[in-house]
Amino acid sequence: MLVKKLRSIMNHFLVPIHEIIPEEKELEIINKFGGKKEKFPNILLSDPVIEELGAQKGNLIKITRESPTAGKSIYYRVVVK
Amino acid sequence: MLMKKIGGIEFNVMSPELIRKLSALDVKTPDTYDKDGYPMEGGLMDPHLGVINPGLRCKTCGQKMKQCPGHFGTLELVRPVVHSEFGRKVEELLIATCDACGRIAVPEEKLKKWREIDDPTEIKVKRILLRTKKTKKCPHCGTAKKEIMLDKPTNFYLNKERIYPTQIREWLEKIPDQDLVLFGYNTEKIRPEWFVLTVLLIPPITMRPSITLESGIKSEDDLTHKLVDIIRINLRLKDNIDAGAPQLIIEDLWDLLQYHTTTFYDNNTSGVPPAKHRSGRALRTLVQRLKGKKGRFRYNLTGKRVNHAARSTITPDPFISINEIGVPKEIASDLTVPELITEWNKKDIIKLIKDTEEVKYFVRANGARKKVSELTRKEIIEEVETGCKIERQLKDGDIILFNRQPSLHRISMMAHKARIMPGRTFKMNPIVCKPYNADFDGDEMNLHVPQTEEGKTEAIELMYAQNQIISARYGAPVIILDEDGVSGTYILTMDSTKLNREEAMQYFYEMGITELPKPKNGNSWSGKQVFSAMLPKGLNLAYRTNTYKELKKIHPDKDPKELHSDSFLKIEDGELISGVVDEQSLGEGKGELIHALFNEYGAGEVEKFYHKTNRIVGDILTKKGMSVGLDEFETNAEIEKVKAKAIKEELEEAEKLVEQFKKGNLELIPGRTLQESFELRMMRLGAGTKDKVQKEIMKQKVEELLSDNPKYNSTVMIMSGSRGSAINITNIAGLWGQASVREGRPKRGYRNRLISANKENDVGATAGGYIQQNFMQGMKVKEFFYHSMGGRQGEVDTGVSTKVSGYLYRRLANSLKDLNVANDLTTRSANKNIIQFTYGDDGVFPMKTSRGKTINIARELEKLNK
């Protein structure tokens, strides 16, 4: 990266909270939604948030968003290349 | 049922060997039939290629017409031609490779590196082309690399010199497999020299049948015509070569052969004139058969047709339920519904067969069908037993689906119950116009009859009209009373409406009340009393009406409730205490009353309510006459005074603004230039002055309406929210104000002025499109032109926006149509990919909400307080 990042984009108000699911908890979540990881939505490894999180290909990411109707809504994405 | 899963589909280019192997016949002659009308041996209609005459047998497989699938033939081309659809691919390969050794003109080490990179094919190809385009010399054999040019679709030039398909083919043959891999080719299955055709696959006759016209003349399919051309030129080329004709003639014929094969595949190839029929009509060749709206995919495969359906013009009938559709006798007697014979209905069915014409077919348990006629009636009655079926005509109460195109949302198709009626049109309650977006200016609609118990149940459970009253999109009523309906209830519930004994008796009777209730005030019955009779006992409601809003506009500093009791609607125990029933109670997306009825008493109660209002409202409006006369728009001195003042103010203020603008000391609006600020100011000024006139007019109109003896219908429409607005009435009785084009003052026209009658560089109010007159007075000449400018924009906008939004909507709907909510409440696509982890990310079904809110707290609290 040529330009050093000065600030974390994670602090921006439009970026929802991204977390890496620890591997031991991954299976539980995947099983809750049909047990097939390849059916989960994806997020690119090159996504700025993923780059900053330092997640690896195959990691499961939990995204917590604010929602006017649901309060908090939880979304999962699998890191892909 | 045997279910098999398709593992995959592979598309490939046919090798000449495969084409020859597939061939049942080598076609030799361009003739189709001999003079006796028999197909020519070795011709395009040779029976080896399949049969199209019933009774004849195929000479290849020996089967009859229905069984024989048809067989391909071949034509050996005397000289090869480039397949027009692969011109681009050939160009790629020729640019990248060396014409002497056939290798990609890139050093071996680099190629090795590239082979290891795992990139999409397009990127790989792009990389090669970028590199080789600049290369001057082949690094493998040292030959100078030449420039390749493609004159679309099929002519190639090497260093500006024409090269022919034979040379191209030889070149492509030289390219080694290891280099082709870099282009993404599966070298085991495909070779690039196959892009240059040496043998042409001739489609079977079944795919291009000839038609015998009534006059006995045979008419050939377009494809056959094209093939005849190809064979004829092929033959001529052969003769010329054999005779040793000069190179120039041979090349000309060769080009002609290329042209015919190109148009055989696609008669719309760019850069090639389409081949014409004798009549001048362009031929419909292979690509045209598949492509577009009338192509095989969209017309024949996606567009399937159904039985048990009918289509007719629609006409209104407010006396039938919203759940009913009036089906003409003529249509009903053509449509059938299967009915299973059981122990319990056996007797009735026998009677039906014996005494009526209603039963059309009898279906035995094994599926054998028999038509019921005078001849067969007796024996069929003998055969009737449980487990058999009859197919009878449509009758009252049968479940049907009703639909109007364009089917943009789920309520464009709803389930109704049939009601057989005289006439030739479908009759529907005008209330269901809204969801279908129908009117009665000649609209036609489709009707379908579900044929199975599952189908019928599904239709009634999921699509029944009364269950669609609340929108699944925004959780408020969509099937609503509108226009006349709202005006009618408004008039009925106005304080000034008093009904005499006769009227009251009629209305109560229509609601099923046979004992006349005591009059509420003196010896006349109030409209509110009649309306209350339509409401169920126990209903409690309280909310602001449209009157509240209008009064607030006129008297911003006063409480509308104190100005007039009708500004607040109150229903206590099913009794309308105060308030008028207007758009707030009944309208789309608002409909407080309808929503409350639906939620607390069910869809059936709303249906009943609609049924009653339809009858009474119709009667009220017929008696009153919902028409508008010129007297409604006459103004008095007071309005004229306000208007004159407003215009004077406008002109004076505008002059000041112009002066400031010309001097350049006009106060700027943040983010705008001087010019923009000025224009915006002028627009705002125009709107402001119009508003003053509007307020005065509305003040007088509202006062008149709320008086003891109101007589103006336009005000009823505005106040009830059923049609029209204060702006409309101002345009007629007040003034039009500033004309606008694209949200600003009209500006284009003549040099530095709007119309030629204005002075140049005059930016004042009158020269910028300010209209002082109204529709009653009529406009001045200049004003008329300004008005037309705005009017034109409106006309253009409606045309453009319907077109654009229609296509946008189609794309959106097509992309979302396969999404569904799975059992674990996730939203999934057709291949079960997760789209949302809970439906809508909140798991809420809008149809069960109150305008998107899962709970209407105000309403619940109200109920608790009672």
Question: A40 in contact with B at a CB cutoff of 8 Å?
Answer: yes
Shortest CA distance to B653 belongs to which of B622, B626, B692, B616?
B692
**C-alpha span between B261 and B84 (Å, rounded):** 8
CB contact under 8 A, A33 and B826: yes
What is the nearest CA distance from B824 to chain A, expressed in angstroms? 7
CATH of B309-468, one of 1.10.3720.10, 3.20.20.70, 2.40.40.20, 3.40.50.720: 2.40.40.20
CB contact under 8 A, A69 and B835: no
Closest chain A residue to B833, measured at CA: A39
**Per-residue DSSP letter, B518:** P
* Main-chain phi, psi angles of A56, to 5 degrees: -105, 165
**C-alpha span between B545 and B858 (Å, rounded):** 16
Structure tokens at B523: 């010896």
What is the nearest CA distance from A6 to chain B, expressed in angstroms? 30
Q: Are B661 and B678 in contact (CB under 8 A)?
A: yes
pLDDT at B745: 92
Q: How many domains does chain A have?
A: 1
Q: Which residues pair with B389 in a beta bridge?
A: B340, B363
The answer to whether position A5 is within a domain reads no
How far are the Cα atoms of B644, B759, B765 from residue B656, in angstroms, in the given order?
18, 19, 11
Question: B826 in contact with A at a CB cutoff of 8 Å?
Answer: yes
Shortest CA distance to B285 belongs to which of B328, B229, B335, B243?
B229
What is the nearest CA distance from B208 to chain A, expressed in angstroms? 45
- Radius of gyration for chain B, computed over Cα atoms and rounded to the nearest angstrom: 39
pLDDT at B862: 76
How far are the Cα atoms of A77, B174, B182 from residue B139, in angstroms, in the given order?
47, 16, 17
How far are the Cα atoms of B292, B613, B825, B840, B854 from residue B845, in angstroms, in the given order?
37, 30, 11, 8, 9
Q: Are B89 and B152 in contact (CB under 8 A)?
A: no
Q: Is B578 helix (H, G, I), strand (E, B) or coil?
A: strand
- A76 CB neighbours in chain B (<8 A) are 837
CB contact under 8 A, B834 and A41: yes
Residue tagged 């319907």 (tokens): B802
Q: Are B560 and B547 in contact (CB under 8 A)?
A: yes
Structure tokens at B598: 């639906």
Structure tokens at B514: 């046979």
pLDDT at B857: 84
* Ranges of residues in chain B whose predicted pLDDT is under 50: none
To 5 degrees, how large is the angle CA B263–CA B266–CA B267? 55
Residue tagged 């017409």 (tokens): B65
> Can you give the length of chain B in residues?
866
How are the residues of chain A apportioned to helix, strand and coil, as percentages rounded to the nearest 5? 25, 30, 40
**Per-residue DSSP letter, A5:** P
- A70 CB neighbours in chain B (<8 A) are 838, 841-844
Question: B644 in contact with A at a CB cutoff of 8 Å?
Answer: no
* Main-chain phi, psi angles of B53, to 5 degrees: -100, 125
ipTM of the complex model: 0.92
The class that CATH gives domain B630-797 is mainly alpha
**C-alpha span between B642 and B694 (Å, rounded):** 10
Question: A73 in contact with B at a CB cutoff of 8 Å?
Answer: yes
Look up the CATH number of domain B484-624. 1.10.274.100
Name the pairing type of β-strands B399-403 and B444-448. Answer: antiparallel
Q: What is the 3-state secondary structure (H, E, C) of B748-772?
A: CCECCECCCCCCCCCCCCHHHCEEC
Residue B568 identity (one-letter amino acid) = F
pLDDT at B619: 92
- For residue B72, the surrounding DSSP H or E stretch is none
**Per-residue DSSP letter, B424:** S
Residue B766 identity (one-letter amino acid) = T
How far are the Cα atoms of B359, B363, B457 from residue B454, in angstroms, in the given order?
22, 19, 5
* Main-chain phi, psi angles of B706, to 5 degrees: -85, 0
pLDDT at B143: 84
Domains B484-624 and B630-797 equal at CATH topology level: no
**C-alpha span between B616 and B488 (Å, rounded):** 8
Domain of residue A34, CATH code: 3.90.940.20
Domain enclosing residue A44, as ranges: 10-80
Shortest CA distance to B465 belongs to which of B483, B473, B477, B455?
B477
CB contact under 8 A, A39 and B835: no
What is the nearest CA distance from B113 to chain A, expressed in angstroms? 21
Q: Which residues, at least 6 apart from B777, have a Cβ–Cβ distance to it below 8 Å? A: none
* Preceding peptide of B153 cis, ω within 30°: yes
CB contact under 8 A, B841 and A65: yes
Q: Is the dihedral of CA B657, B663, B666, B670 positive or negative?
A: positive
**C-alpha span between B349 and B341 (Å, rounded):** 7
CB contact under 8 A, B826 and A40: no
Residue B414, burial from CB neighbour count under 10 angstroms (0-12, 13-18, 19+): buried
**C-alpha span between B569 and B535 (Å, rounded):** 14
Q: Are B612 and B534 in contact (CB under 8 A)?
A: yes
Closest chain A residue to B854, measured at CA: A69
**C-alpha span between B682 and B669 (Å, rounded):** 12
Structure tokens at A66: 């604010």
Closest chain B residue to A66, measured at CA: B841
* Domain boundaries, given as residue ranges, for chain B: 82-194, 309-468, 484-624, 630-797, 820-865
**In chain A, positions 7-36, which contact chain B (CB-CB < 8 Å)?**
32-34, 36
Question: A74 in contact with B at a CB cutoff of 8 Å?
Answer: yes
Helices B165-174, B87-96: inter-axial angle, 10-degree rounding? 60
Closest chain A residue to B825, measured at CA: A33
The answer to whether position A2 is within a domain reads no
Helices B484-493, B603-624: inter-axial angle, 10-degree rounding? 80
What is the nearest CA distance from B837 to chain A, expressed in angstroms? 6
Name the residue facing A70 among B824, B833, B842 (closest C-beta): B842
The answer to whether position A60 is within a domain reads yes
**C-alpha span between B310 and B402 (Å, rounded):** 10
**C-alpha span between B106 and B104 (Å, rounded):** 6
Query: Is the pLDDT reported for residue A17 higher than 70?
Result: yes
pLDDT at A4: 58
The answer to whether position A64 is within a domain reads yes
Question: B837 in contact with A at a CB cutoff of 8 Å?
Answer: yes
pLDDT at B245: 86
Q: Rounded to two decimals, what is the model's pTM?
A: 0.78
The answer to whether position A66 is within a domain reads yes
Shortest CA distance to B294 belongs to which of B285, B286, B303, B283?
B303
**C-alpha span between B835 and B813 (Å, rounded):** 16
A with B: how many residue pairs have Cβ under 8 Å apart?
Answer: 43
Question: B845 in contact with A at a CB cutoff of 8 Å?
Answer: no
The answer to whether position A74 is within a domain reads yes
> Following DSSP, what letter does each residue of B246-278 receive, concatenated?
-HHHHHHHHHHHHHHHHHHH-TT-TTSPPPB-T
Q: Are B165 and B196 in contact (CB under 8 A)?
A: yes
Best mutation target among B474, B819, B833, B853 (most A Cβ atoms within 10 Å) is: B833
